[in-house]
Amino acid sequence: MDKELGIIASKEERLQEAKGFTLMSDVFMSVALEDLAACEYVIRILMGKPDLVVIDVKTQYTISKITSHDARLDVLAEITAVDSKNKLVTIEIQRRDTVDHARRTRFYGSMIDSEYLQKGKTYSELPDVYIFYISETDIWKSGKTTYEVVKTLGGQPYDDGIHTVYINAAVNDGSAIAALMQYFKSCDPDDDSQGALSNRVQKLKSDEEGEFMCELTQKWYNDGARMTKANDIISIMDSFKVSIESAMQTLKVPETEKVFYVALVDNIRSGKVKSE
């Protein structure tokens, strides 16, 4: 076993697994968008504003409250443009269809507001917040790539500064956002169609970033929820004498994650990864 890297016997094996990550993985997407240029490229596409500038970005950013549920934001960025005040943008990846998506985005917005309205400030000083909620499937099932929440009051537009946009990678309507989502799904390092984002992905998946990609895979493996699901897969395989593919289908494992669960289950079986 590779003692330095710990849980996986071969660095090369881990690197090959890591190269299979796509931007539909919250882990890989967060790492890719730590880069200001890549993050700026994505937000410009999502907002349709080629002149905006990202001045700060945090990934896997946790907002904690003593008496309430924590919020962990995949990406939180502060943006500016010449014609407006600074705004906050959060990008969230969501694969599960079992959550209440509308209330989840409501919670994100409320947590961001509570975090950024300092004492002594007036409500008018709350920054505008844009929530981009990205899913693999068309969760609203109306055949659109993009769904923007439009608020009205008595039939008139109502602007409270929270802007929520649901985007999915299942419907390709030919738009720039749809093209970006197709790239999110493939994450092909040989595809240079997405500017600074493609440059970032190519760098992350190149051999020169091998050490980093191995660490990224270990981080993915060490996530408690994923270990639990891997053990659930093993339990189904053993109990019902079915293949790993059948077990993953039963648990509705997303296509973009199957390669990692195959590797993780294999490593648990072989003892390379300790099953908690």
Chain segment 51-90, per-residue pLDDT in tens: 999 999 999 888 877 666 778 899 999 999 766 789 999 9
Q: By three-state DSSP, how is residue 60 classified?
A: strand
Please provide the average confidence, as pLDDT, over all residues in the chain. Answer: 85
What's the structural domain count of the chain? 2
For residue 49, the model assigns a pLDDT of 94
Confidence bin at 9 (pLDDT 50/70/90): very low
Report the alpha-carbon distance of residue 39 to residue 79 in Å, rounded: 10
Determine which of 4-13, 123-132, 166-175, 181-190 has the lowest per-residue pLDDT on average: 4-13
Alpha-helical segments (H) within the chain = 11-18, 26-32, 36-47, 101-116, 176-186, 195-204, 210-222, 224-240, 244-250, 255-270
Report the alpha-carbon distance of residue 164 to residue 147 in Å, rounded: 9
CATH number of the domain where residue 67 is located:
3.40.1350
Residue 150 inside a domain? The answer is yes
Q: By three-state DSSP, how is residue 94 classified?
A: strand
Residue 146 neighbours by CB under 8 Å, 6+ apart: 165, 166, 167, 173, 175, 177
Over the Cα atoms of the chain, what is R_g? 20
Q: Tell me the per-residue pLDDT of 228-252, one tens digit each, with 9 for 90 and over.
A: 888 899 999 999 988 888 899 899 8
For residue 209, the model assigns a pLDDT of 52
For residue 67, the model assigns a pLDDT of 64
72 and 152 in a single domain? The answer is yes
| Domain end residue (candidates: 155, 189, 204) | 204
Determine which of 13-22, 48-57, 158-167 has the lowest per-residue pLDDT on average: 13-22
140 and 263 in a single domain? The answer is no
- Phi and psi torsions of 250, nearest 5°: -60, -40
Confidence bin at 3 (pLDDT 50/70/90): very low
175 and 108 in a single domain? The answer is yes
85 and 129 in a single domain? The answer is yes
241 and 160 in a single domain? The answer is no
239 and 124 in a single domain? The answer is no
For residue 121, the model assigns a pLDDT of 83
Compute the half-sphere exposure of residue 198: CA atoms within 13 Å on the CB side of its CA. Answer: 12
For residue 254, the model assigns a pLDDT of 81
Give residue 244's domain range. 11-18+209-270
Report the alpha-carbon distance of residue 209 to residue 86 in Å, rounded: 33
CB atoms within 10 A of CB 251: 13
- Do residues 170 and 138 lie in contact, with contact meaning Cβ atoms separated by under 8 Å? yes
194 and 221 in a single domain? The answer is no
Confidence bin at 226 (pLDDT 50/70/90): confident
Write the CA distances from 18 to 39, 53, 252, 276, integer angstroms: 21, 30, 21, 22
Residue 4 inside a domain? The answer is no
Confidence bin at 214 (pLDDT 50/70/90): low
User: Among residues 132, 131, 60, 137, which one has the least CA distance to residue 95?
Assistant: 137
107 and 227 in a single domain? The answer is no
Residue 6 inside a domain? The answer is no
Residue 276 inside a domain? The answer is no
pTM, rounded to two decimals: 0.76
72 and 115 in a single domain? The answer is yes
38 and 128 in a single domain? The answer is yes
Classify residue 104 by burial, with Cβ atoms within 10 Å: 0-12, 13-18, 19+.
middle
- Do residues 171 and 165 lie in contact, with contact meaning Cβ atoms separated by under 8 Å? no
| Domain end residue (candidates: 187, 204, 221) | 204
Does 76 or 258 have the greater pLDDT score? 76
106 and 218 in a single domain? The answer is no
pLDDT at 180 over 70: yes
For residue 87, the model assigns a pLDDT of 95
Write the CA distances from 227 to 68, 213, 223, 272, 273, integer angstroms: 26, 19, 6, 13, 10
Q: Tell me the per-residue pLDDT of 115-153, one tens digit each, with 9 for 90 and over.
A: 888 777 889 889 999 999 999 999 999 999 999 999 999
- Do residues 264 and 224 lie in contact, with contact meaning Cβ atoms separated by under 8 Å? no
103 and 187 in a single domain? The answer is yes
For residue 139, the model assigns a pLDDT of 94
For residue 215, the model assigns a pLDDT of 66
pLDDT at 274 over 70: no
